[in-house]
Structure 1
Amino acid sequence: EGDADEFVANVEITSAKIIGDNWYVGILGALGAPNFAATAIELNDDGDSELDLTFGLDKPAGVAVGFSDFEFGLGFFGSYDDPAAYDLYVSAVTPEFEFADGLTGQFGLAGLLADDAMGVFGSVKVGFAQDDLSVSLASDIQYIKDGSFDAEVALAASYDFLTLDVYYATSEFPLLDDNDDPIDVYPGAENILSVQLGAVIEGFDITVTGKDLVNTTDLSAEVAYALSDELTVSVKGGYSLGTEVWFAGGGVEYAADMFTAKLDGSYYSTKQLKLSASVESDKLVDGATLSLGYAADDVLGNVSGDLDNGHLGAITAKAVIAF
């Protein structure tokens, strides 16, 4: 990926495990703090949580151990230049327990002991499913010794053709990028409350979303319709009460046996035009997912400042190989 005069190639091994009968040892990093409180509202295009309460740390260096569906992690941060500076990190996640017919629960814990800080982290997720009804309630809670307390709560429910997602966070916990820099979605915001309603009616997939209702109040709606088994078209639009910016756009997705192709575009009242296109396949090479994508944040060149994909856009070729 890169701009017109730059080519950047990254090769990254994201997982390496020694696997045995009902156990494994991961050697590329400790098990991160659980992130149970995640809903469709706050997931980005890659399926990652835009808000992630994890002590402000990315996945630490260390080891992860799994045994009988229980998972444990141990990580350590140190400095040769300053031996007195350290961070010791531990975590654990249980499997999903079934308490009664349709009622399940899962739990997670993490702890951070550092030369200048100490904190505890807890997660719980409870679910219930019966016939056409499905409900999941999850929460992540973090306490740091200096007195800071943060939490996030996520509710996901569905009944027949209707879906409901509700997300609340005491403050912003931004996801970290590849350089461990925060990706600010709601800079400096507190009491983030978002709601999303969905329905599938006569082939139309309708989604209405209200993000950060307490602060910026970003409202949007999208309607998708499958013209055939392979071809789906969509239209969308939105308006932010906080910034008074509106947008309108649409997309096309074609899912063939060998590949999936997507094209998406949105125009904003700030005279900003965003475009993206991608082709992805997990059939061309056994055990690998290959993709080629293009994304531009400001095709018309009307927005000043740095943008994630530059003004003219960035092309990204990716191969994810599992072996």
Structure 2
Amino acid sequence: MITRLAEEVTLRPRNGSIRDVARQAGVSIATVSRVFNDAASVSPDTRARIIDAAALLSYEPSSLGRNLVRGRSYLVGLIVPNISVPLYGTMLHGIEDVLAQHKMSALLGSSLDRSDTEIQVAQGLLGHSVDAGIVINSRVGVALPVQRMPDWVHISPEIADLPYRVELDNEKGGRLAALELLAAGHRAIGYVGAVGRESAERERGFAQELALAGLDYRRATGDYSETSGLEAGQEMLREPLDAVFVAGDLMAAGVLRALHDAGLSVPSQVAVIGFDDSLIAPLLYPRLTSVRQPAYEMGAAAAQLALDLINQKPATPKTFMPQIVRRESTRAFS
């Protein structure tokens, strides 16, 4: 279960209290506490008497209290740049599924794509005594308060050499996109990227494959939003081109709109490849060919890595391989 950082938690039992249970069973409050924290030092008869008294009074021990006694919160802090982005939602799904298998929950905070907010959210999560943390696309990396919690797992951080990270081979993804367009015979090619390590790596692989084919390319820059993709697409169309590789599916949606507004047919006149294969890719018209980033699997891997750190097991970085998902925006389907 994912809980928002700002939600309030009710701590007071709705029915009988621990004091009432102790009085009903004829024992001390400390003995009742030991029973509900699985202490083996309480005799079977006393344990049974306390359990019966708790049932009679409809008493349920506070999970928060038990966890504090055990030195665990059973919470994993989670920082997301923007919860409205479909890719991140899919990652959250993977994280939640793995944590639920281990009876743990995620406490969620959004950094709103701002580095200062990311640090504030991290400090807030630490204030809730989370057992570990996962941060997606961290802008600040080692500037997080890691001295108070070293067990942060990073999904695709801007800083590449953080010890516990889950990421995609973005350079390989760029190569796949270039090879796909080259195989279809495209020669006047553009790239729409964004600021940051991921886009730079995608462009590097893309550029290397085009260079091997003796080709250059035009480029424009957006910010992963549909609006920036529209503007980048309009800029690209100042000169003729027959294919565009876009570093994110939302930007690719904007590029498709720019091509439609210009009266150009996709893919017969201009082919388009996006990146991520997010939930919107098959909903666009034409349906978008995209380099798949396995977001669910990456989220699940990050959650498992966080659990390994909590349980003091060996934890190593994990890199996923991209693949092309072909749809009607490229010539194979024209």
TM-score by length of 1: 0.26
- Quick one: higher RCO (CA 8 Å, sep 6+), 1 or 2? 2
Query: Larger C-alpha radius of gyration, 1 or 2?
Result: 2
Higher strand content, 1 or 2 = 1
Identify the structure with the greater helix proportion. Answer: 2
